Amino acid sequence: MTNPYQPPVTEIPEKFGINTKNGTLQDGINGNYDFLIMDVIKESWKKTYGIKGILVGAGFLILIGIFALGFILSILTEVLGFGADSLMPDLINQLVFTIVIYPFLAGMMMVGVRHAVDLDVSFSTVFGYFTYTIPIIIAALLMSFLTSIGMFLLVIPGVYLSMAYVLTIPLIIEKNLGPWEAMEASRKAITHHWFKVFFTYLIMGIIYILSILPLGLGLIWSIPMLTNIGGILYRIIFGVDEVQDSPSEESNDSLSFSSMQA
């Protein structure tokens, strides 16, 4: 027998609640997700276990590559005789760094995405997405171009776009979207809770800066946390499609994501 004095209860679909574990591409674009900032921060800390060595090792190799690439480019700039006031070296440097570095950064992002749903990750995961190099580079150049224009136009549009595009690369890889399609999906989804995403990364950025102070030792934890932030937000907003064994990769015991149509 029901209690006539009981206040009415509204049934809210789970996908609209803050306890959402897995979203979908369309739910993300429609804004049918929510989260608590500190819950994401806490989970990112808990999930540092098991990936610290992978990410710190990969990050160290990427850092060495950046220094080596910068050294080579500086020599080429002198050989080609560009003047100190020329913008051409900066443009060339930015283009080369984007082409070389982004495929590796994409691998680190995917470590976070996979780890967010407890899929196996390894050091080779960071280097396992070179087949997406062309769309990743196209997206990276487009994001850089549009964000730079936004920064030039009163800064605020640039800040908005830099955060709105933060999940573009995982969408290209995990949802098999094209560069512009992934950029728009990320922008539309994050816009619904832009300030929450912004403050999540702001808090993580403060943690990251503080971790550098004690001789950089804190980076052992802050780098995995930062990677996990992206993976957890991706899982909440877009979900991670069911993983299937690819016949061509089964002998290598590797896993691939199945694509999902919007």
As beta bridge partners, residue 256 has 244
Report the candidate in 139, 59, 69 with the shortest Cα–Cα distance to residue 107.
59
Looking up tokens 């936004």, which residue turns up? 150
pLDDT single digits (tens) 166-216? 999 999 999 999 999 999 999 999 999 999 999 999 999 999 999 998 888
What span, in angstroms and rounded, lies between the C-alpha atoms of 8 and 29? 31
Residue 257 lies in a domain: no
Domain span holding position 122: 14-241
How many domains does the chain contain in total?
1
pLDDT, residue 259, reads 39
- pTM greater than 0.85: no
In a domain, 248, yes or no: no
**Does residue 249 lie in a domain region?**
no
The answer to whether residue 97 is domain-embedded is yes
- Residue pair 69/115 in contact by the 8 Å Cβ criterion: no
Residue 154 pLDDT? 79
Residue-level pLDDT at 99: 84
Backbone angles phi, psi at 114, to 5 degrees: -65, -40
Tell me whether residue 258 is in a domain: no
Q: Are 113 and 240 in contact (CB under 8 A)?
A: yes
pLDDT of residue 87: 60
Q: With pLDDT > 70 as the criterion, what percentage of the chain qualifies? A: 80
The C-alpha torsion from 20 through 239 and 168 to 228, rounded to 10°, is 70
Using CA atoms in the order 100, 105, 107, 111, what is the torsion angle rounded to 10 degrees?
170
Sign of dihedral through CA atoms 64, 121, 95, 150?
negative
pLDDT of residue 228: 96
Q: Is residue 260 one of the residues assigned to a domain? A: no
Residues of the chain below pLDDT 50: 1-20, 243-262
pLDDT score for 19: 38
Residue 29 within a domain:
yes
Determine the Cα–Cα distance for residues 229 and 47; give it in Å rounded to an integer: 10
Is 60 among the domain residues?
yes
